[in-house]
Each structure stands twice: as C-alpha cells, then as structure tokens.
Amino acid sequence: MLPMKMIAAAVAVTLLCAAGRPNIAVMPVSRMDQAWWRARFQEKQAELKRGPVDLLWIGDSITQNWERTGPEPWRNFEPIWQRFYGDRHAVNLGFKGDSTCHLLWRLEHGELDGISPRGVVLLIGANNFGHVHTDAEETFAGIQAVLAEIHRRLPATHILLLGVLPSIRSSWVTENTTRLNNELRQFASSGPSYLTYVDVGGLFRHDGVVDAGRFLDPHLTPPDPPLHPSAQTQQQIAATIEPYVARMLGDHPHS
C-alpha cells in the first residue's frame, strides 16, 4: 500500500490535471521516501554497474514478480526467468507499485547510466489506472515520455513495448486499458524504428472473456482482484515474445 502522503500528492496532482494543469503521468516522481523502494533502487544500481547488461526488463510489480520463487507453482517465476533469460545478461528493473511517473524518475536518476543493452522489454501503465488514476490519454503520454527517455539515453537499443495487460478491476480500467493499447499500437505502427509493439492480452482470455484463472491474485489470502499474471501465464508471455527478444539480442530462440 502507498503511504498516505503519496496518495494525497497523487490526488492533488490529478485534480490539477482535471483543471488543465500538468499531467502527473509525465512528471518524474520519487519514491525514495519508502525504505524498501530505496533499497531496491540502490541494489539495482549496483547490479547494473557489475554488468555486463544485454537485456533489461523494465516495469512494475508484474516485472518484479520474475524474482519470485514458489513453493506454489502459480508464483514460482524464477525458474522461468532462468530458462529464458538466465544466460542473457538480463536485469530485472521491475518495482512494485510504479507508474510512468515513478519510472521516469528512475530513468532520470541513473538507471540507464553506463550500460549499452541490446534490448529492453518495457511493460508499464497498469498502476496509472490505480492510485495515480490517469486515464488512457494521460497514460499514453506518460509511456511516450518513458520511451523517449529510454531512447535518448540508449539510442542504439531496441525497445519491445508490451501492451498493458488485461485485468479484472473495474469497467473504467478495462475501458481505459483497451483505449491505451489501441493508441500504443497506432503509435508504434506509425514509425519509430527503435520500437516494436506486442499485445499479449489474448493469453488472458477464454472465449473472448478475461479469465481469472490466468492470474495469481485470486490464490492470495485474502484474494485480490486479478491483476498479476500467474507464473504459468508469465511463461506464456515469455514464449510469445521470445522471437522478438532473440532478434533484439541476435542470439538463438529460447524455449
């Protein structure tokens, strides 16, 4: 859960957005006041400096979950990470609770300094529809800002942008997820040569309906609304994007 002062700040900025003021999704926001987040940021800085770094997974808790181990199969992600990325000098830059504004702060404070990865897998935006509460258009601007910042700092690196994953939270979230992914698809198809867009949302649907069984959240005690893919679904995501990852890295496909 976010500290009350961060929630209050997010609400205040969102109200300003509604009044025609700046969009929080494009404003770098620090979370260094949270001990666990600060420690993870510092640990990841040290890991990046140790290198080498050929691949980055950048995002929020869905990406951070690659570091989870079981014992339950639905949250045993780490063996899958090792299978697909263990020999690829890959670094997990997922931070639970981050939205585009928090990721922008990370990117501007050393997260990409001194490295030259061949590829980036970017999955961000789900939390914009949560506490930050920016709509599809505002979140789209935030993701564009993230892409621009990554490309500015890593001009030779190809970016594989994943569409925001389906969830079962509210009709507002579902509507804005669809609108956002349509905008991302159109943006990617219109041009930047450094960018490939892939929507893996079909992995979460059965007969056209988002399937709660694809998520780990219903297994928790107490259960949470379906948002985070289970380990099995995340394995399917890795397999789906593998041809693109292998192409970015110039190596052989993993399976």
pLDDT band at 131 (very low <50, low <70, confident <90, very high): confident
Please give the Cα distance from 49 to 124 (Å, whole number).
24
Q: Tens digits of per-residue pLDDT, 179-192?
A: 999 999 999 999 78
Residue 71: CB atoms within 10 A of its CB come to 6
- Integer Cα distance of 229 and 172 in angstroms: 20
Supply the range of the domain harboring residue 191.
4-249
pLDDT per residue over 31-88, tens digit each?
A: 999 999 999 999 999 999 999 999 999 999 999 999 999 999 999 999 999 999 999 9
Within a domain: 121: yes
CATH number of the domain at 72, please: 3.40.50.1110
Mean pLDDT of the chain: 93
**Residue 148 falls within a domain, yes or no?**
yes
- Closest to 56 in 3D by CA, of 162, 160, 164: 160
User: Cβ(159)–Cβ(120) under 8 Å?
Assistant: yes
Does residue 244 sit within a domain? yes
pTM summary value:
0.91
**Number of domains forming the structure of the chain:** 1
Residue 255 falls within a domain, yes or no?
no
Q: What is the dihedral of CA 218, 174, 107, 153, to 10 degrees?
A: 130
Here the tokens at position 177 are 């997820």
Q: Is 254 a domain residue?
A: no
